[in-house]
Structure 1
Amino acid sequence: MKNLKDKTALITGGASGIGKIMARLLLKKGMKVIIWDIDNQKINETVNELSTHGQISGNCVDVSNKSQIEDTSKELSNKGLQVDLLINNAGIVVGEYFHQHSSSDIEKTIAINTIAPMNLSLTFLEGMMERNEGHICNIASSASLVSNPKMAVYAASKWAVFGWSDSLRLEMKQLKKNIKVTTILPYYIDTGMFSGVQSKIPILKPESAALSIIKAIEKNRKILSLPGYIYRTTRIAQALFPIHFFDWFVGQVLGIYKTMTTFTGHKK
């Protein structure tokens, strides 16, 4: 979406982390911004803080609840608001070995990380297709590419998002619709979601990550890996080397398989 000015963006998980930063960046580019989040207090704080940059509003929505998505989207429509840019940013991680997950942990992770972006896109895609214009940006993960201990369910949810998101891009192209889809594959971002993680690969700074995502949207990038070399090197290594060598290199040399050992996550 090369022309952002006077368009409307909806960001899920927009009251904190990179969602909040992206909201600020888009406001400065002349967009109207709507943030959806589950934390009403943070929504109010973010709206008050960013209102000096432009037109911003917020709704308290549990994106894992399809009825709340439908009801709130109808409220937006009744107010004459259309979503031109949808950024599916909301996500959660449990950070335990798979056998330590409860069924509730599994269902909630898949509901928020995987099903919610699909339901949200399904909700707003109809209007985009009618107008033959729009952009959907899905925040997947580097975990969409590499298996990792203590994030089996998270990785599964993000692998699904990657496959679905890029398939959606191809569908819009096949249908000759002017609707762009950008899939983001970031490494760990220092927002608190992955607090405690230790990594040989530098953890991403939220401001620079958010800025890179907005630039990718403006340039209609299909896939953006952060940092850029992860996607290319991972794909090549998986294609060329046997799994035991790949495991050794990723696990022992890069230390990826041990990054979640010291994970603590958001402080409650």
Structure 2
Amino acid sequence: MKNQALIVGGTTGIGKATAELLLKEGVEVIIIGRPNKNLKKSESELAKMGSVKTIALDLSDLASVHEFAKGMAQQMPNLKYLVNAAGYFSPKAFLEHSEADYDKYHDFNKAFFFITQAAAKILKDNQGGSIVNIGSMWGKQAIKATPSSAYSMAKAGLHAFTQHLAMELADYNIRVNAVAPAVVVTPIYAAFIEEDKIEETLQGFNAFHPIGRVGRPADIANTIHFLLTDKSAWVTGAIWDIDGGVMAGRN
């Protein structure tokens, strides 16, 4: 039987790029995505590379999340990998944040928590596996030009979640790591930039990164793939800065 991977938020961007890498090596991929146009489009595109299935799920609907988590063992008995990749980002001043703004970010973590719990039980039964969370540079460092207090609070929590799970699940041969990207060209910016202008707009952040350019989904996916596989068998509890050098310094 093929190993299975669950990617929470894999219809676009980093999650989709990770799915492509896993499909190329024969892993069966299950993708959770919002019920929108990207879901079936991504399934159609990825199906050319291997066995893929998409599941429509609103991560802010906790009842639906719990219902999905209950059925995971039946849907994916050969689960080996989990990637928590879903996200939303829209800078907003702290003094203007509403409760709805706050919930939009933290609902993701609540969904990740219970989906990961269900996944970890399957991985335990399967004698091990690997989990990678997509955190953020903003969870480590504040950037005044992009005020994101609720987003950063959620991502910092995801970093802590990663380290706690690494400790608790190590006895079951389950490794848990995270990546913390800086500016990567993905549709996540569509919340405040017109989708057809994301590429052009983000070029203004090239010089923000010491390496001289913004990131691409493949830059992050390659590291996620490495952390999922046995090539990183002695790595757990790590939050890796995949950020073009931003955390090292500034140009």
TM-score (normalised: structure 2): 0.82
Change (3 A) 1:228 1:94: closer
Aligned length: 228
Cα distance, 1:64 vs structure 2: 2.6
Identity of aligned residues (%): 24
Q: Which residue of 1 aligns with 2:2?
A: 6
**SS of match in other structure, 1:84:** strand
Paired residues of 2:70 and 2:118 also in contact (CA < 8 A): no
Instruction: Determine which structure has more spread, i.e. the larger CA radius of gyration.
Output: 1
Q: Which residue of 2 aligns with 1:22?
A: 18
Change (3 A) 1:81 1:47: farther
Q: What are the Cα deviations for residues 76-132 of structure 1, in whole angstroms up to 9, with x where unaligned?
A: 4344644221100001122111122221111121111x2222121112112222333
CA distance in 1, matches of 2:101, 2:173: 37
Q: Which residue of 2 aligns with 1:116?
A: 111
CA distance in 2, matches of 1:209, 1:127: 26
**SS of match in other structure, 1:57:** strand
Structure 1 unmatched ranges of 5 or more: 234-249, 255-268
Matched, 1:87 2:87: no
Paired residues of 1:12 and 1:88 also in contact (CA < 8 A): yes
| Counterpart mapping for 1:190-205 below 5 A | 190-194=185-189, 195=198, 196-197=201-202, 198-199=204-205, 200-201=208-209, 202-205=213-216
Paired residues of 1:135 and 1:181 also in contact (CA < 8 A): yes
Matched, 1:39 2:50: no
| Counterpart mapping for 1:1-268 below 5 A | 6-79=2-75, 81-112=77-108, 114-149=109-144, 150-173=147-170, 176-194=171-189, 195=198, 196-197=201-202, 198-199=204-205, 200-201=208-209, 202-218=213-229, 219-220=231-232, 221-222=235-236, 223=238, 224-227=240-243, 229-230=245-246, 233=248, 254=251
**SS of match in other structure, 2:79:** coil
TM-score (normalised: structure 1): 0.78
Structure 1 runs (4+) deviating above 3 angstroms are 73-82, 194-198, 227-231
CA distance in 2, matches of 1:94, 1:229: 23
**SS of match in other structure, 2:30:** strand
Change (3 A) 1:29 1:210: same
CA distance in 1, matches of 2:179, 2:99: 28
CA distance in 2, matches of 1:115, 1:230: 28
CA distance in 2, matches of 1:14, 1:193: 12
**SS of match in other structure, 1:53:** coil
**SS of match in other structure, 1:216:** helix
User: Which letter maps to 2:241?
Assistant: S
Structure 2 unmatched ranges of 5 or more: 190-197
Paired residues of 1:8 and 1:82 also in contact (CA < 8 A): yes
Q: Which residue of 1 aligns with 2:195?
A: none
User: Which letter maps to 1:163?
Assistant: A
RMSD: 2.1
CA distance in 1, matches of 2:162, 2:22: 22
